[in-house]
A and B are shown apart, each in its own frame.
Chain A
Amino acid sequence: MDTRPRTPHGTGDPVPVLTVRPLDGCHGVRAAGEIVLATHPVWERVLEQAVREGGGVYHLELSGVTFADVAGAGALAAAAERLGDGRWFVVRRPPPTLRRVLEMFWPDLPTIEVSMS
């Protein structure tokens, strides 16, 4: 008989975080954590900054991001559409959900390059 509790209980809900640091040696940031409702403001600030900053390629190193929701992918797509001429995002090692949602809703955005290396 399965005796595991069917209804989880207890305290200590994990608080979602998204930490952001400048990348060494290239233009962009390294983000870690998760892109969800609670961290959308942080994520949107990162993207806003990237749009404003200028320069050529902007790197988003996301190997430390474990999950991104649809609104997070949408914010990235909206920022990518606002990048000036000759600029684009290189999105490095995004979580599988971000790749899936980008492929589904924004498959041919020329200003987002997904890199798995």
Chain B
Amino acid sequence: MSAAAEPVGTAPDPFVHPALFYRDEREYLDGTVPFVREGLAAGEPVAVAVPGDRLRLIRDALGDDARTVRLLDMREAGRNPGRIIPGVLRAFADAQPAGRRVRIVGEPIWAGRSAAEYPACAQHEALINTAFRGRAVTILCPYDAGSLSEPVLADAHATHPVVIPAGSAPAHGSAAYAPDAVVARYNEPLPPVPDAMTFPFAAESLTRARHLATDEGRRLGLTGVTLEDLALAATELTTNSVVHGGGSGVLRVWGEGGHVLCEVRDRGRLTDPLAGRRPPARERPGGRGLLLVNLIADLVRTHTGDEGTTVRCWFAR
């Protein structure tokens, strides 16, 4: 009986997630274009989600073949790292017919990522492994070894089970692979901001919390859809605190550079690392609050622990 000979758990995971290190355009194209063409030749659905300037390089190198590839500018589609799994990777992979391997080139980390964005980027790369476990999907993640810092490149070795070194060296398993440790390490405390509109809320003050967030967002320069998005995010986060996070919390809204930030702290603990990163299930209309926040905000950072949970989100003004 094959079940006895091959107990569940020893079969290799069909999910393949290599990091590709490159130092220049040639290495970039040598690492990505054959990967795309191999997929197309095998009849596999292929998507490329990389920063716009690199997307143009790949598109031009593919020529006519580019028409059969889903091309996305990761600076837009993946500006908030927390929406890349639901809004880019699974949005593409889940829409493909079953039985075919799906190939994606995904470059979520580039040299211009801010210090506020980076912890969310590293957690995202680590969580891809959980999100795609057991699926016939290959996600190749290019890393600009010439521009990214040493700690970023070291993290890439911890978030990818396989690495492809810069130059012509072959792929090999990563001895440093430890994605859960990366998720934990970047679960960094988000220090309170002194000069923020601060409002402790509970069930009876959810409406006031939304009005205060909206008023402050407007005063800080948000308009139109972005102001509506702030109202939605504040509502979903405060409602989550009331329903799941101990019944109350503290809302803060403030401005920082080109962004308006909205933060909710409560006494709950976020135990599901993929919360807000699963695409919506048609048969379950509920539980989409955090996903919505990930989809509409420019950045979402979370910190969770025994003392409670903080979710902070950024909206460009």
Contacts and interface: CB of A to CB of B under 8 A. Distances in A.
Interface of A: 6-8, 13-16, 34, 36-38, 67, 69-71, 74-75, 77-78, 96-97, 100-101, 104-105
A67 B231 contact: yes
Interface in B280-306: 280, 285-286, 288-289, 292, 295
Interface stretch (B6-14, B38-46, B199-207): B199-207
Main secondary structure of the interface of A (DSSP, over half): helix
B232 interface: yes
Contacts of A101: 232, 292
A105 B235 CA distance: 17
B300 to A, nearest CB: 15
B210 interface: yes
B181 interface: no
A69 B198 CA distance: 22
B212 interface: yes
B285 A77 contact: yes
Given A6-B198, A104-B295, A16 B288 contact: no
Contacts, number: 76
A65 to B, nearest CB: 13
Contact of A70 (B195, B198, B289): B289
Give the most central of B210, B235, B239: most A CB within 10 Å. B235
A13 B292 contact: no
Contacts of A71: 239, 285-286, 288-289
A77 B281 CA distance: 12
B225 A38 contact: no
B87 to A, nearest CB: 10
A21 B105 CA distance: 53
B148 interface: no
A13 B243 CA distance: 19
B227 to A, nearest CB: 10
A38 B228 CA distance: 20
